[in-house]
Chain A
Amino acid sequence: MIDYLVTVLTEGSIFAIMALGLNIVWGWSGDFDLAFYGYVALGAYMTLVLTVGPATNPTTYILGLTLPFPLAVALAVVSAMVLALIVGAIALRHLRGIYFSIVTLGAVYVLYVVTGQYVPLFNGYNGVSGLFDPMGDVLGLDYSSYSFFYLGLCIAVLIIVLLLTTRLNGSRFGLALRSLREDERAAAAFGRDIYVTKLKAYVLGAGLGGLGGALYAGYLTAFNPSAWSPVETIILYAAILVGGRGSTRGVVLGVAVMVMGLQEATRYLPEIANQPSFAPALRLIITGVVLVLFIRFRPQGILPERRFRDKDPAGKGDAAAVEAMVAGPKLDTGAA
């Protein structure tokens, strides 16, 4: 029972870290990024190839180093951010709305096809494996205490990410982002550099995605393309939407409901003959239905984002302009 609880909580904290990253991109910056799970996957792959040592025949993958786990995680996060910088720099330049989503969907599919087909990169469809109990031997932990240690590690990282995002939420950068989401033109009129601000948010979000992916790799011990079909991004979106888009507490609640809750609620379904995929398929159906219903009836989620109230009765109405004013002078250097 206790082992089971540890598993659920570990997975939950990892998904919460990813969802908090995606919340920066979609919740605050307002970009519906379908490439997000690609950064999670890259974080996971990079962690693996940086820690598991050289590839043995017939597997092939790049690097194959044996770096310490924390260093590998850091490098994995950096590589996810670099990829996001490239994709974001192209996609955010002119594109918004569905065109942005389509291009990011394209980017993640290219990544997906290439990792699957190009074997020398990450061993194709078989994926990379062999990361057992990272840091376990250094700390001298046995099998039973290791899962507690890893849970503690994930929760500690989640708490750091929570503190970071809460702080960011009230910062000038956070306010600037949300002013862009509400009205780009108004924000630009208040001196924001739209492109640079959005790109920063995109790269930061992807970094958290890569961090979640790195921890996920340590938890799963292996990663392959069947572990990350681009559909996974939708699950993260459903969690954010249900909890409350843009609200940090909401996102954590959403992950608890949509990832952990749904997983547990459907775990003990009777197995239907010849249907091993029944429970996962049912979960995705419920996810899809919840997504549609929430967009239609409660787009702000269960715990809505707190809005800044306009204290000056003369300027009533234009929340975006007020937010932009609250945010103060522009953050970014470069041409306006």
Chain B
Amino acid sequence: MHEALLTLGFGLVAAAILSLSALAFTLEYSVTNVANLSHGEILTVGAYCAYLVQQHGGGVILSGLAAAAGGGLLALAVHNGVVDRFVRRGIGGLPTFIATLGVSLVIQNVLVIIFGASNLGYAVPQGAPRTVGPFLWTDTEIQIMVSTVVITVLLYVIIVHTRFGKSLRAVSQNRSLARVSGINANRVAALTWLLAGLIGGYAGFILAESVGTFSPYSGFSFFLITLTAAVAGGLGRAVGTLAGGIIVGIALEFFGGYVSASYNLAFAFAILSLVILVRPRGLFVGGRRSVFE
């Protein structure tokens, strides 16, 4: 029982990182209807930005901010440079999806040329593990979870209580209708991608903190798990995605702890395939729609 609780504790950390990444992905999807295959690279670039700041003597807070800024700029560039041009031309979801796969390939390999293909170590003083209730967490892990909760709450407030959030919801539900109502849909989409990039870049930073190493490919591998969480939660739905991230994160940690950590990715995709085949619109569809959609 005690061991199970410990695993649950680690699972919560994994779930926090996964939820942020999946939330960012779902934001991107919600305003453009494009499954962004280069989402993982936002995390990777975030990790590299944090790494650079750390190498120059920056602290944890500065590294986190740099990661968010790097991720945000990248997401904005991908949106304005590629995705928006495709969406405006009316090029469908699948071709744009393929194009983002090309973008992902480009970013990964630019990073390979700049930093090399091998793993870089990202060492942060983790602090001694301390007991919090039944769980055992280091300071870094507590920082990861607290910041995730803060970011999620902030995001909720932005989406539900601000004018921008209202436009975001309008664009996500019906882009043309939003436009005839006087909303500048392209601008809202660009800002949403920027917001998603800020969150995604930060997720890359906490991923690097928690794993301890990263490479130009680590974002893409993590994206595959992110996809599982986002699809399980229902693409484009924020609350569902959050729940999907928590469930998948904890399930993966238990699978890794009790079966085999090597097959984690395979396990994630088994969940994903099952969800897509049995409940393609997500686990939580039906019933009353939440305002957070």
Binding site for B on A (CB under 8 A): 32, 90, 93-95, 97-99, 101-103, 105-107, 109-110, 113-114, 117, 231, 234, 237-238, 274-275, 277-278, 281-282, 284-285, 287-292, 295-296, 299
Contacts and interface: CB of A to CB of B under 8 A. Distances in A.
Contacts of B91: 295-296
Given A97-B93, A102-B35, 20 more contacts: A95-B276, A102-B227, A102-B272, A102-B276, A106-B272, A106-B273, A109-B269, A110-B266, A234-B105, A278-B113, A281-B109, A281-B110, A281-B112, A284-B105, A284-B106, A288-B102, A288-B103, A290-B102, A295-B86, A295-B98
Contacts of A102: 35, 227, 231, 272, 276
Given A97-B93, A109-B266, A281-B112, A287 B272 contact: no
A114 B112 CA distance: 26
Contacts of A277: 112-113, 116-117
A290 B102 CA distance: 8
Interface in B243-293: 260, 262-263, 265-266, 269-270, 272-273, 276-277, 280
A57 to B, nearest CB: 23
Contacts of A295: 86, 91, 95-96, 98-99, 102
Contacts of B86: 295-296
Contacts of B97: 32, 98, 101
Contacts of B102: 234, 238, 287-292, 295
Contact of B106 (A109, A110, A285, A299): A285
A103 B99 contact: no
Nearest to B269: A106
Contact of B269 (A94, A97, A110): A110
A101 B95 CA distance: 12
B218 interface: no
B94 A97 contact: yes
Interface residues of B, number: 41
Contact of B280 (A95, A274, A291): A95
Given A94-B277, A281-B112, A291 B105 contact: yes
Contacts of B183: none
29 contacts: A32-B94, A95-B280, A98-B35, A98-B93, A102-B35, A102-B231, A103-B277, A106-B224, A106-B270, A106-B272, A106-B273, A107-B269, A107-B273, A109-B266, A114-B266, A117-B260, A234-B102, A275-B113, A275-B116, A278-B113, A281-B112, A285-B113, A288-B103, A288-B105, A289-B102, A290-B102, A291-B98, A291-B99, A295-B95
Contact of A291 (B85, B101, B117): B101
Nearest to B272: A106
A125 to B, nearest CB: 11
Interface of B: 35, 82, 85-86, 89, 91, 93-99, 101-106, 108-110, 112-113, 116-117, 224, 227, 231, 260, 262-263, 265-266, 269-270, 272-273, 276-277, 280
Nearest to A237: B98
Given A94-B280, A107-B273, A274-B116, A299 B266 contact: no
A117 B263 contact: yes
A113 B97 CA distance: 24
A95 B86 CA distance: 23
A99 B280 contact: yes
Contact of A282 (B89, B98, B109, B273): B109
A107 B273 CA distance: 8
Contacts of A231: 105
A229 to B, nearest CB: 9
A113 B227 contact: no
A278 B109 CA distance: 9
A288 B109 contact: yes
B104 A32 contact: no
Contacts of A292: 82, 99, 102-103, 106
Contacts of A289: 102, 106
B112 to A, nearest CB: 4
Smallest CB-CB A-B distances: 3 pairs: A106-B269, A291-B102, A288-B105
A323 B274 CA distance: 35
A114 B227 CA distance: 20
A301 B262 CA distance: 41
B239 to A, nearest CB: 21
Contacts of B116: 274-275, 277
Given A110-B266, A113-B262, A284 B109 contact: yes
Contacts of B109: 281-282, 284-285, 288
B269 to A, nearest CB: 3
A325 to B, nearest CB: 26
Output the residue of B85, B273, B280 with the most chain A CB within 10 A.
B273
A144 to B, nearest CB: 35
Contacts of A90: 273, 277
B94 A103 contact: no
Contacts of A284: 105-106, 108-109
A105 to B, nearest CB: 7
A109 B265 contact: yes
A80 B71 CA distance: 40
A281 B216 CA distance: 11
